[in-house]
Amino acid sequence: MPGFFREDHDHFRRTVKQFVQRELIPYVDEWERLELFPDEVFRRAGELGLFAAHYAEDVGGGGGDFWFSVAKSEELAKCRSAGVAMGLLVQGDIATPVIADLGTKEQIEEFLTPAIHGQKIAALGVTEPNAGSDVAGIQTWARKDGSDYIINGAKTYITNAVRADFVTMLVKTSPEAGAHGCSFFIVPTNTRGFSVAKKLKKIGNHASDTAELAFDDMRVPARYLLGEENRGFMHLMQNFQSERAIACTSAVAGAQASLDDAIEFGRDRKAFGKPLIKREYWQHKFVSLQTKIEAARALSYHAADLYNQDRWVRKVPVELETVKIISMAKVFVGDVASEVIDESLQFHGGAGYMEESSVARAWRDQRLFRIGAGTTETMRYYLAKLMGL
């Protein structure tokens, strides 16, 4: 592997790879059909240290850096079910980092440590029916009432929400202040007033549960406020960078898997007297696609390296240059992965259009990448600002 990975990263990668091959791949077809994978998968991943590797030892982690998350994201993508991979990445890399950054000793002991050990399932609650990539437009709000907060509103498109034990949630605490009036809370899902309004049916990522949540005079103790009141938006923007970086490395690995599958298919499938892979058109096409994958991987690794340097080496907030490169990676990887998987499906012909084919699943699943964690259009809007345009 490239120079970013040490021997301990490679050992961890082998652990994830074995987990994927033995405990995910044999079952993903059934989980896709059921549109849910078992809670036991979270527990097993936690037992193996998949969630904890990049967290500090004092919160129950392995003391590693961001490259452990990169290795994990790449290997999970090979399970051929983006829904399973996404559910597990939300648990360890999306819903929980903000608790590590802001949490009190009590919050870490109650929520973070059990989550990274697979004993509690976590979700991140940001998107709302009327506020997607424009996070500042959220309308769920909390008002102080004695030693509690009363929260009303709704969240939607929330991964892991159907069976989550808690939701790390962004709400407005000072609605008149816009983005500067947001705060993070940890909300146990057994809180009175919390409800799963409905499980949502998606185009792809079928094995992950996604839900709409409703909050009706939900009373949350003030001890579940994460960090300072009205400082949540800034921390969310930091959290988004790790989510986007890890989504890029996962998407590149998924695109590579689809291309590898297509090439293997082409060795066996014959048309007009010889294997498809021997057709010059497709040879040249695959050379072009592999080149784009290599470029996407290089840019993703550059983004991951910058993020790792900021957060693990220098231990500072993410720099604007890092935000710029991560945003560029998300735009570029989205375009490349979509092209690679679409061409891979085309290469399979009718077989690629069948539900049972892994490339059909990848084609459906990959479409989310250009929407989730900030749409491609939003990324370009941010980039234009960062470039002074």
pLDDT at 341: 98
Backbone φ and ψ for 59, nearest 5 degrees, come out as -110, 10
Which two structure tokens, joined as six digits, stand for 254?
A: 């998924």
In this structure, are residues 100 and 55 in contact, taking their beta carbons and an 8 Å threshold? yes
Whether residue 361 is predicted with pLDDT greater than 90 in this model: the reply is yes
* Residue of 243, 280, 319, 356 with catalytic role: 243
Whether residue 103 is predicted with pLDDT greater than 90 in this model: the reply is yes
Residues 171 and 270 in one domain: no
196 occurs within a structural domain: yes
Q: What CATH number corresponds to the domain at position 40?
A: 1.10.540.10
30 occurs within a structural domain: yes
Whether residue 1 is predicted with pLDDT greater than 70 in this model: the reply is no
Q: Report pLDDT digits (tens) over 230-245.
A: 999 999 999 999 999 9
| Nearest by Cα to 232 from 122, 348, 320, 142 | 142
Class of residue 176 by CB neighbours under 10 A (exposed 0-12, middle 13-18, buried 19+): exposed
Residues 325 and 271 in one domain: yes
Active site (annotated) includes residue 47 = no
Which range (179-193, 258-272, 317-331) has the least confidence?
258-272
Residues 115 and 127 in one domain: no
pLDDT at 270: 82
Q: Average pLDDT of the chain?
A: 96
pLDDT at 135: 87
pLDDT at 97: 97
Q: Report pLDDT digits (tens) over 37-76.
A: 999 999 999 999 999 999 999 999 999 999 999 999 999 9
Report the domain count for the chain.
3
Residues 183 and 318 in one domain: no
pLDDT at 2: 58
Q: Which residue has the tokens 């007033």?
A: 193
Residues 214 and 344 in one domain: no
Residues 253 and 366 in one domain: yes
Residues 245 and 376 in one domain: yes
Backbone φ and ψ for 25, nearest 5 degrees, come out as -50, -45
pLDDT at 379: 96
pLDDT at 132: 81
Q: Is 354 helix (H, G, I), strand (E, B) or coil?
A: coil
1 occurs within a structural domain: no
Mean pLDDT confidence for 146-162: 97
Structural domain ending residue among the three candidates 226, 250, 267: 226
174 occurs within a structural domain: yes
Residues 111 and 132 in one domain: no
Percent of the chain residues topping a pLDDT of 70: 99
Residues 84 and 169 in one domain: no
Q: What CATH number corresponds to the domain at position 147?
A: 2.40.110.10
Count of beta carbons in the 10 Å neighbourhood of residue 350: 7
Residues 286 and 371 in one domain: yes
Residues 218 and 311 in one domain: no
pLDDT at 179: 85
Q: How confident is the model at residue 357 (pLDDT cuts 50, 70, 90)?
A: very high
Mean pLDDT confidence for 96-118: 98
29 occurs within a structural domain: yes
Q: How confident is the model at residue 14 (pLDDT cuts 50, 70, 90)?
A: very high
Structural domain ending residue among the three candidates 79, 103, 120: 120
Whether residue 133 is predicted with pLDDT greater than 90 in this model: the reply is no
In this structure, are residues 95 and 122 in contact, taking their beta carbons and an 8 Å threshold? yes
Containing structural domain, residue 116: 7-120
pLDDT at 323: 97
Structural domain ending residue among the three candidates 89, 120, 151: 120
- The model carries a pTM of 0.95
Q: Report pLDDT digits (tens) over 210-237.
A: 999 999 999 999 999 999 999 999 999 9
Rounded to whole angstroms, how far apart are CA atoms 332 and 294?
A: 12
Residues 265 and 334 in one domain: yes
2 occurs within a structural domain: no
231 occurs within a structural domain: no
Whether residue 35 is predicted with pLDDT greater than 90 in this model: the reply is yes
